[in-house]
Amino acid sequence: MLSRTAQIRLVSSHPEVYDPCDDSFALVDALLADRANLLEHHPSICMEVGCGSGYVIASLALMLGKESSDCYFIATDINPHAVGVTRKTMEAHGCHADLVTTDIASGLEKRLAGLVDVMVVNPPYVPTPEYEVGQFGIASAWAGGENGRSVIDKILPVADKLLSDKGWLYLVTLTANNPSEICLQMMKKGYASRIVLQRSTDEESLHIIKLWRNLDTQLEDGILTGFFAFSHGQITCAFRGRWKQSQI
Amino acid sequence: MRLLTHNMLSSNIKGVTNGFPLLIEVEKVVEKQVDFNEDFLRNMFPKIEWKALVEASRTMGYTELPENAESSMLDSDEFLRKFHHALIELHLEEGALVCPETGRKFPVNKGIPNMLLHEDEV
């Protein structure tokens, strides 16, 4: 059987590029757990911001299987070495993604606005002194500034701009990033959310959040319903059913 | 860099209002054969700025694309083949993308465009 995730032995590496680690595996596991929904979603554009080694976007392409050949994959990283490594990783798996060296999605925001159906982000989330944020090289893979939120808080408005009406965002966060606060903040913009995977490792407690536009409710209603959605997975599902109906 | 990527990029320099499409400076073009996939082309067609694709493909030495295109043309196999070739088989391997307003060059090396800005451009 064909593998549904990228194989570590085929993932390229470079001294200045973050190798796949617990956070990358957690994100890919969350995507795998949601694979049936992803297949049903029929994304036409999938994007990864901060692609690093390419392990995540290659895995996403592989798990979408035949669906992936109809889909446009695009990935960015601020680290030029990472973009090069991602290309090799994709090639080794027989996949293709368009690659751009850029800060988050700078240069793509205008044309990709409202077009991205699936966005995956494993941001630099480690709390660090602010001056370490945005450095070139491998530090850009983890340095997240105060509460590890500096880069996340820049990515969220960009994601809001790029996601299509049916767009989904999968975001890796750490407890220190205050994921529930991230969800509440996005609910004010009309997003529902759910923690799709929670995993504690020796060093950190990871939360993979899935966010999607909740077209039914706005503002206060959105906060209220969204909060329940965040707290109770089942309500989220009902909620999504309603959203789907409203699309027909 | 495929012309599909070029079609999605705009100049991101602060203050630039009309940063699309980026002009292309060609040093090296390569053609890579890609499996033909009609569904992919149909998915992408409404998202493509056609004139920018026509101009870009001409700069890369491919002149077969019609000046204008509409969705009914997707029923033509000949049209689809040309669209396929221009969109995903032509690669700018080395060269630059040039901001149409400021002339600032964004390098393309080993097929990857670099849109990183200097501090005074953000």
ipTM score above 0.90:
yes
Residues of A with CB below 8 A from B11's CB?
107
Q: What share of chain A is helix, strand, coil (3-state, %, to 5)?
A: 50, 20, 30
Instruction: Give A195-204's long-range contacts (Cβ < 8 A, gap of 24+).
Output: A195/A230, A196/A30, A196/A33, A196/A34, A196/A170, A197/A26, A197/A29, A197/A30, A197/A33, A199/A22, A199/A26, A199/A29, A201/A22, A203/A22, A204/A22, A204/A23, A204/A174, A204/A175
Report CB contact under 8 Å: B115, A100: yes
Q: For an interface test with B, give the residue of A110, A115, A154, A161 to mutate (most B CBs within 10 A).
A: A110
Report CB contact under 8 Å: A102, B12: yes
pLDDT at A2: 63
Q: Which residues in chain B land under pLDDT 50?
A: none
For the CA atoms of A215, A218, A223, A224, the dihedral, rounded to the nearest 10 degrees, stands at: -90
Residue A193 main-chain phi, psi, to 5 deg:
-155, 160
Report CB contact under 8 Å: B9, A100: yes
pLDDT at A193: 96
Q: For an interface test with A, give the residue of B91, B104, B115, B118 to mutate (most A CBs within 10 A).
A: B115
Report CB contact under 8 Å: B115, A99: no
A3 within some domain = no
Number of domains composing chain A: 1
Alpha-carbon gap, residue A224 to A184, rounded angstroms: 9
Beta bridge partners of B24: B97
Report CB contact under 8 Å: A98, B11: no
Least Cα separation, residue B37 to chain A (angstroms): 7
Number of domains composing chain B: 1
A2 within some domain = no
pLDDT at A1: 52
CB-CB: which of B7, B112, B115 is closest to A107? B115
CATH code, A84: 3.40.50.150
CB-CB: which of A45, A72, A78 is closest to B116? A78
Domain that holds residue B95: 3-113
Q: Which residues in chain A land under pLDDT 70?
A: 1-2, 216-248
CATH code, B101: 2.20.25.10
B58 within some domain = yes
A53 within some domain = yes
Alpha-carbon gap, residue B73 to A214, rounded angstroms: 35
Report CB contact under 8 Å: A101, B115: yes
Residues of B with CB below 8 A from A91's CB?
none
> Quick one: closest CA in B to A44, which residue?
B43
Alpha-carbon gap, residue B5 to A97, rounded angstroms: 10
> Quick one: closest CA in A to B18, which residue?
A110
Domain that holds residue A76: 17-247
B95 within some domain = yes
pLDDT at A3: 75
Contact between residue A138 and residue A18 where contact means Cβ atoms under 8 Å apart: yes
Least Cα separation, residue A15 to chain B (angstroms): 19
Residues of A with CB below 8 A from B12's CB?
102, 106-107, 109
pLDDT at A201: 84
pLDDT tens track for A52-85: 999 999 999 999 988 888 999 999 999 999 999 9
Angle at A112 between CA A110 and CA A118, to 5 degrees: 145
CB-CB: which of A70, A108, A110 is closest to B37? A70
Residues of B with CB below 8 A from A84's CB?
110, 112
pLDDT at A135: 80
A21 within some domain = yes
